[in-house]
Structure 1
Amino acid sequence: MKKGVHCVADEVLRMQNITKIYPNGFVANKDITFGVGANEIHALVGENGAGKTTLMKILFGMEAPQEGKIFINGKEEKITNPLDAIDKGVGMVHQHFMLVPSLSVAENVTLGVEPMKKGLFDFEGAVKATQEIADKYNFKVDARSKVRDLSVGQMQKVEILKALIKGAKILILDEPTAVLTPQETEELFEQLFTLRDSGVSIIFISHKLEEVMRICSKVTVLRHGQCMGTHDTEGLNEASISKLMVGRDVVLKIEKEDPKTGKPVISIKNLVKINSIGKHVIDDISFDIHEGEVVGIAGVEGNGQTELSEVLSGMGGFASGDVLLNDTSIKGKSVREIRDLGLAYIAEDRMVEGVAGDMSIKMNIMADRFTKKEFKSGLFMNGKKIDEIARQYIQDFEILCDGPDQPVRMLSGGNIQKVVVAREFTSGANFILANQPTRGIDVGTAEMIRKTIVRKSREEGTATLLISADLNEVLECSDRLLVMHKGKIVAAFPKANEVSEETLGEYMLGIKEMTLEEMEALL
């Protein structure tokens, strides 16, 4: 696959001297100039909080800048809301899909531009229009299918089709490969090249720098709300882009020695979980994790990983089987009781389960240890001690903030995740359950979290279960690797660093499946 070299005849988009300051005084964008050419896939990269999201919200009419101008095809435009942006040929595909699962592909794609016949919604007309545009760009989806029956990769295509059917000529893609298998990613890239060659300019936002290098001809780097320049990707590599983003050298590959494993810390035995409609979302799975090792789970989202995380953290029950944490069953135990047995938990959704957004950084960091004697002074909390600890963790984990009393919701996504990590990695637990620990965060923070996971296993003997949609992450951080598909463990690899992404993808998609005997022989 080649990203190709394309002559950029004219800029189809120019955002000139854009400045956005929020009411609290935070400068999200400072005098940013950003241009995209015709027939171009242009990367926009930067750490969380660098200003990428704000800049794209301004382009899509979701935010208004204090200063600056937007030009589309050389003409100055005022974009006041998303409908206005769509009308001017700008489409945005958000990281979190905005689809109605119970409706068909055609109904989702034509939502807002529904074809009508005799005053009623014309379903056949919607199917025809959707299938025509899908076929035009080689998007292999059936317009009549229900969205709930689609794979994650197909849902991604539906989101793109929603923008294309409305006439998008400038397409913003926010982390489009975050939940795709390698095979689905390859297919998406081929379709993006088709779109580019047919006259659609694409703004590609991603933390996966190897993908930026592969498919983008130019990259614009933001850091702390300012533009660090636009560069041809041909003259860069992943390390140089990372340095522009972070302002220092970033280690992109984790060097680790083989684990020295001890006794099992957690034992999962014939675990079964059945959901509200009677489906086996966890289907008779068994495995152990020992002291000193990181076990990774790869899988397309929706194949039981979330439910497994809920069971192990005490956020959800199970139908049969058992889970032993440090030789004690967690059956019937509360979240607090399971944590007291030795669990530290980095939740999949940091804003829902990881932090209390309106509470301070200090209170979030201390949330699991208020009852401990060392943080009490008689009947009351030892405020001075708590403040000291919070400031120390803010320094140790490089949390960018105004101080320990700042509400967590005021932080960037990467810094919110650092608050979660600071609490969980200092809890004294010997089992770390890390579910999507670096999702949607910048390369610098991701590097810190991954290195800490590996370091704690090697130096402190912790057992870690790493659940991640980022295959680079599970391959680099894990010692052993398991693959989940339809609630089952379908493959096991004793050495994660010897498995290719392509092989993993085949098991993740259900193309291949190991027998129980094969897995037992490997592990």
Structure 2
Amino acid sequence: MSIDPNASLALELLEVSKQFGAVKANQDINLSVVSGSVHGIIGENGAGKSTLMSIIYGLYQPDKGQIRVNGQAIQLRNPQQAISLGIGMVHQHFMLVETFTALENIILGAEGGALLKTTTATARQQLEQIIARHGLAVPLDIPVAELSVGVQQRIEILKALYRNARILILDEPTGVLTPQEADELFVILRQLTAQGVTVLLITHKLREIMAITDQVSVMRQGRMVAHRKTAETTIAELAELMVGRKVRHTVEYSEVALGTERLRVKDLVVRDASGVERVKKVNFHLNAGEIVGVAGVSGNGQSELLQVLAGIISPTAGEIHYSQHMITPKTPIDAAEVRRWGVAHVPEDRHRMGLVLPFQAYESQILGYQSEPKYNKGLSQNYTAMLNTYAEQAEKFDIRPRSPYLKSASFSGGNQQKIVISREINAEPEVLLVGQPTRGVDIGAIEFIHQQLMELRARGKAILLVSVELDEIISLSDRIIVMCDGMITGEVAREEVNETLLGMLMANATGEQHG
């Protein structure tokens, strides 16, 4: 890709490299970013994207190379210096205090005055101007914990703009958003670039790259391997550049004979701690050899459904039947007991429920299964077996880096997801409960995870799949049930499905509840 020689460059990287021990995270990176554009950075999990963005934001210092901001060579020693130069970053996992209001979060660390009341009043006035200018609607006085993920992301963007960011780095910004929230984000990004803000967008979602970016750069194994004008490339070319081979974009579906019923849910009700019904008289069944997809906009009871089925929370009413086992409000069961019944669970939130982030990778690889005989030697644990399991799964699922001693928190989001999914599939469960299996995962890994789920189905296992990705639900599922406001609003067979019908059911346009 050739850059117009007359174009103003907001950011340039020249031969930038960064190494951690034996791992070459970035090697001789060259990058030119045009002012007022959306520039995409794509690559597989572990390709070095987040490391590169951390260098630009001052979290890491390069081992060699040069960084230029608005044509001026700089040495970034810390994020405070980056902020002073107009560089802001919205991390993949938000840095917000949930008990604080939006306003308190935005000014945190940038109060700038002895009298907090005066500072707050001034900040409110400035923020209201920024909100009006960029269309970033945010209720400033509501605690963050009560706001949707999409609004929380706007708060993170406002934090950067409040600090006068003119270069905005977004790391996997749609990984936790619904499709509707992602669309709203793209409108905001276009408004920002119209105001002269430059956006660096790190993502693995190629459809989004094609929809929102002006230019795109591709990383693979720590190197920058290609630059393209978005209008002059295709999803197929970008996928091949990312992975280094041709990628299959469709799932190979074949008929599988249904086996016995593995799960039946009868009149299931779940109330939260506040007494609000999150799951409302839900009924469905799941057989061996099938994938039943659960579609719906995030926050409509799917999370609570998965948690009650996994034994993490208790039902308020109704029954859950796993073959010969049953869960009711009068028979409290914990997650460990449900796991012993042959039920595995890939949680939607890998950080809160799927991993212990300070644990080393080999420990997270057996989390929940550590009591199995193969991992125990009398009163001590069999570390050789634990390390062997990690080595086998890291090779099979291409978990990067391969080091078993690296802390779980140090892996990229996509590789953390691979650890969780490989662990649960390796258990060979009779029933797999899986939430958002490809959230934050690159296109090559998505292809592999989908293949693993289809192979599990072919082996006669029963899979309940919850995903906000309609393409994923449609391509993998034998049947699809749709949830809205805690209710099942419809069930659609594979041969009858289309996005329009699912969209109507997701919005409960028919106003019906199906038992």
TM-score range, shorter chain: 0.7 to 0.9
Q: What pairs up with 1:308-327 in 2 under 5 angstroms?
A: 308-327=305-324
**SS in structure 2 at match of 1:461:** coil
**1:420 matched to which residue of 2?**
420
Q: Does 1:303 align with 2:305?
A: no
User: CA–CA distance in 1 between the matches of 2:74 and 2:389?
Assistant: 51
2:9 equivalent among 8, 11, 19: 11
Measure how far apart 1:154 and its partner are: 2.7
User: CA–CA distance in 2 between the matches of 1:152 and 1:368?
Assistant: 28
Return the TM-score normalized by structure 1.
Answer: 0.86
**2:41 matched to which residue of 1?**
44
One-letter identity of the residue aligned with 2:462: A
Measure how far apart 1:467 and its partner are: 1.8
User: CA–CA distance in 2 between the matches of 1:106 and 1:295?
Assistant: 42
**SS in structure 1 at match of 2:249:** coil
User: CA–CA distance in 1 between the matches of 2:110 and 2:363?
Assistant: 47
One-letter identity of the residue aligned with 2:14: Q
| Gap runs ≥5 in structure 1 | none
Moved more, 230-239 or 117-126: 117-126
Measure how far apart 1:60 and its partner are: 1.1
Partner deviation per Cα, 1:195-250 (whole Å, 9 max, x = no partner): 11221111111111011011112111111111112111222211211111111111
User: CA–CA distance in 2 between the matches of 1:207 and 1:425?
Assistant: 23
**1:21 matched to which residue of 2?**
19
User: CA–CA distance in 2 between the matches of 1:497 and 1:65?
Assistant: 54
Distance 1:436 1:21, change over 3 A: same
One-letter identity of the residue aligned with 2:345: Y
Distance 1:493 1:162, change over 3 A: farther
Q: CA-atom RMSD, angstroms?
A: 3.3
2:289 equivalent among 289, 292, 314: 292
Q: Does 1:91 align with 2:88?
A: yes
**2:474 matched to which residue of 1?**
475
Distance 1:445 1:271, change over 3 A: same
Measure how far apart 1:71 and its partner are: 0.7
**1:442 matched to which residue of 2?**
442
One-letter identity of the residue aligned with 2:13: M
**SS in structure 1 at match of 2:11:** strand
User: CA–CA distance in 2 between the matches of 1:235 and 1:406?
Assistant: 40
- How many residues end up aligned between the 2 structures? 510
**1:347 matched to which residue of 2?**
347
Moved more, 461-470 or 347-356: 347-356
Moved more, 290-299 or 139-148: 139-148
Distance 1:394 1:51, change over 3 A: closer
Q: Does 1:35 align with 2:40?
A: no
Measure how far apart 1:43 and its partner are: 0.4
1:182 equivalent among 158, 173, 179: 179
One-letter identity of the residue aligned with 1:267: R
Moved more, 31-40 or 113-122: 113-122
Measure how far apart 1:32 and its partner are: 1.0
**2:228 matched to which residue of 1?**
231
Partner deviation per Cα, 1:75-95 (whole Å, 9 max, x = no partner): 112222222211111111122
One-letter identity of the residue aligned with 1:344: A
Partner deviation per Cα, 1:288-323 (whole Å, 9 max, x = no partner): 222222122233444333332222222222222221
| Gap runs ≥5 in structure 2 | none
**SS in structure 2 at match of 1:432:** strand
User: CA–CA distance in 1 between the matches of 2:255 and 2:273?
Assistant: 42
Q: Does 1:161 align with 2:122?
A: no
Distance 1:491 1:96, change over 3 A: farther
**1:463 matched to which residue of 2?**
462
Q: What pairs up with 1:349-368 in 2 under 5 angstroms?
A: 349-355=349-355, 365=365
One-letter identity of the residue aligned with 1:433: L
Q: Does 1:200 align with 2:197?
A: yes
Distance 1:117 1:406, change over 3 A: closer
**SS in structure 2 at match of 1:120:** helix
Partner deviation per Cα, 1:319-360 (whole Å, 9 max, x = no partner): 222211124113423323212212122233445543456666
Return the TM-score normalized by structure 2.
Answer: 0.87
Measure how far apart 1:165 and its partner are: 2.2
Residues 478, 496 of structure 1: 8 Å contact kept: no
Residues 273, 318 of structure 1: 8 Å contact kept: yes
